[in-house]
Amino acid sequence: MRIALAQLNYTIGDFESNKAKILDCIRKARNQETELIVFAELAISGYPPRDFLEFDDFIDRCYKSLESIAIECRGISAIIGAPTLNPQKKGKSLFNSAVMLSDGKIQSVTNKSLLPNYDIFDEYRYFEPNQDFQVVKYKDIKIALTICEDIWNTGPEPLYVANPMEELASQNPDLLINIAASPFTWSQEEERNGVLRENARKYGIPVIYVNHVGAQTELLFDGNSKIINKDGDIILNLNAFAEDFAVFDLELYKPDKLAKSSRKDDRHKPAKAELIHDALVMGINNYFRKMGFSKAILGLSGGIDSAVTLALASKALGPSNVLAVLLPSAFSSGHSITDAKELAENLECPYYTINIEHGFQSLMDSLNPHFEGIPFNLAEENIQARVRAVLLMGLANKLGYILLNTSNKSEAAVGYGTLYGDMCGGISVLGDVYKTDVYELANYINRDSEIIPLNSITKPPSAELRPGQKDSDSLPDYPILDQILYKYIELREGPDKIINAGFDPSLVSRILKMVNMNEWKRHQTPPILRVSPKAFGSGRRMPIVAKYLS
């Protein structure tokens, strides 16, 4: 039996373009004498459709799309993810389904049992969990047809009481198909391969896994669809960060033959910085393309964050589409300007220089009568950052650019940034990358030649909002800060545990307090491209008004 895997980049709610992509793959597969083609979870609508699912109109369009795809399924069958209506009156009105299309119509509907509802997932918000476990009979084989989370209930303390694979295994399936919407993090592919291999070995059957690829605002899907044989070996792995399509011969009862017809898993194993780099480039590119924009603008300070952001954007959109704006003030050091110019020139990005002093002084003229003689402090620092934002947004609005935010995760965590100032932007590129990892990214970008000036990498970080200011005046050194943040944010460790690991108690207390007291700021930041298992954004939901560790 010949089976095709279609790994596509969908647009949420764009039924016409999603359908066109799907039909294109169905035709291609049929031309290659394929019997079955497999698409990802909720491919019809794109993932995640979020509250669009609450609109009857949206569900109607899903059905219409499904039906018009079914018409094309003659001489070939397709498994495709779609929301379907729950025929029962009790329970939520929808299922998250894998629909089998064949002979021009919907042949069967298999529903998802385990609905992830942690981190960025909200599936129990919309879907009723399936409780009826049946293998799908297709020609002479029995398929354990599952949807993403359904095969993840593993380990000694499983998250769900039910275990769909145990139920299906009792029906002796020949093959496990898992259609997924499994977003990227820098550690996800390793974990995912572990789960897929465990399932293959435990149940002694091959696994066909089809994932999404592409960015949906902050969520990045890396693809990496694959086939694993019953021994747990990856015998076919589709592209990371790009659409892909593959047909292979499945001779179920001669699994040793499988390897012959397929690409071996001999691909390069990328390091963390490379993974994050590629994910962010895709994230920027897809954000702009799907929003219908092509041009980005950003403030280039000469520091490392805006330098890395410019390099990534230049890669994602093309250098001529990224406008760097140097916005020096009285507190900008000479090297800031030269480092920034050098970078823009290395990348061949256009750049403007606008001194903010004139605007800043005018606003201060208006404010000084009301400032009651209080000396220069955080207020004036913020005003400088906000004047920059007004200038950048003015250029963006006038000339048709989208502003890129350049804040990193360490800053976002402790609130080291000005709301409505440097925290502005349509999308945050580095908001899920700790400062220490931003350096790794810079080194990766410079792997072949010095694109980012070394001086931007080696000089002490500074916001340059007052004379001689350095980040280390208000924050511990980033290697220490980032370790504490990682323990608190990613690992959800409390203060006692972090202190027991050897960190200074008063520092830990101060850092955790900063994180918790700045929820209000993070609430108003742009969506952050997610590359870690715990990013700021929809995957981390904290009270704003609260008094815990603060």
Edge-first strand order for the sheet with 296-299 is 351-353, 322-326, 296-299, 402-405, 427-428
CA 116: distance to chain centroid? 16
DSSP-derived 3-state class of residue 512: helix
Distance CA 112, CA 114 (A): 6
Site for its own copies in 467-496 (CB under 8 A): 492-496
Is 544 one of the binding residues for its own copies (CB under 8 A)?
yes
Residue (204 or 400) nearer to its own copies, CB: 400
Residue (13 or 255) nearer to its own copies, CB: 13
Among 51, 190, 345, 450, binds its own copies (CB under 8 A): 51
Distance CA 105, CA 346 (A): 56
Stretch that binds its own copies, among 87-95, 186-194, 200-208, 330-338 (CB under 8 A): 87-95
Concerning whether 112 is annotated as a catalytic residue, the answer is yes
Among 23, 63, 72, 160, binds its own copies (CB under 8 A): 160
- Rounded to a whole number of angstroms, the minimum distance from the CB of residue 19 to its own copies is 13
Integer distance in angstroms from the first to the last C-alpha of the chain?
61
Is 330 one of the binding residues for its own copies (CB under 8 A)?
no
- Beta strand pairing call for 207-210 and 213-216: unpaired
Distance CA 352, CA 263 (A): 48
Stretch that binds its own copies, among 96-104, 249-257, 283-291, 478-486 (CB under 8 A): 283-291
Is 501 one of the binding residues for its own copies (CB under 8 A)?
no
Site for its own copies in 214-273 (CB under 8 A): 215-217
Among 395, 451, 499, 507, binds its own copies (CB under 8 A): 395
Is 362 one of the binding residues for its own copies (CB under 8 A)?
yes
Is 382 one of the binding residues for its own copies (CB under 8 A)?
yes
Is 157 one of the binding residues for its own copies (CB under 8 A)?
yes
Active-site entry in 41, 381, 493, 519? 41
Q: Could you give the count of Cα atoms lying within 13 Å of 253 in the half-sphere of its Cβ?
A: 3
243 touches 10 (CB < 8 A): no
Is 89 one of the binding residues for its own copies (CB under 8 A)?
yes
Active-site entry in 19, 21, 112, 290? 112
Concerning whether 148 is annotated as a catalytic residue, the answer is yes
CA angle 291, 292, 295 (to 5 degrees): 100
Site for its own copies in 107-126 (CB under 8 A): 117-118, 122, 124-125
Site for its own copies in 165-204 (CB under 8 A): none
- Beta strand pairing call for 226-228 and 296-299: unpaired
Concerning whether 41 is annotated as a catalytic residue, the answer is yes
Site for its own copies in 4-23 (CB under 8 A): 11-14, 17
Is 341 one of the binding residues for its own copies (CB under 8 A)?
no
Stretch that binds its own copies, among 22-30, 154-162, 459-467, 468-476 (CB under 8 A): 154-162
Is 393 one of the binding residues for its own copies (CB under 8 A)?
yes
Is 386 one of the binding residues for its own copies (CB under 8 A)?
yes
- Rounded to a whole number of angstroms, the minimum distance from the CB of residue 350 to its own copies is 11
- In three state form, how does the secondary structure of 271-286 look? CHHHHHHHHHHHHHHH
1 touches 108 (CB < 8 A): no
- In three state form, how does the secondary structure of 467-491 look? CCCCHHHHCCCHHHHHHHHHHHHHC
**Nearest Cα to Cα of residue 465 among 371, 330, 363, 372:** 330
Residue (122 or 243) nearer to its own copies, CB: 122
**Nearest Cα to Cα of residue 318 among 288, 354, 338, 352:** 288
Distance CA 13, CA 546 (A): 36
Active-site entry in 25, 148, 349, 424? 148
Catalytic residue positions, numbered:
41, 112, 148
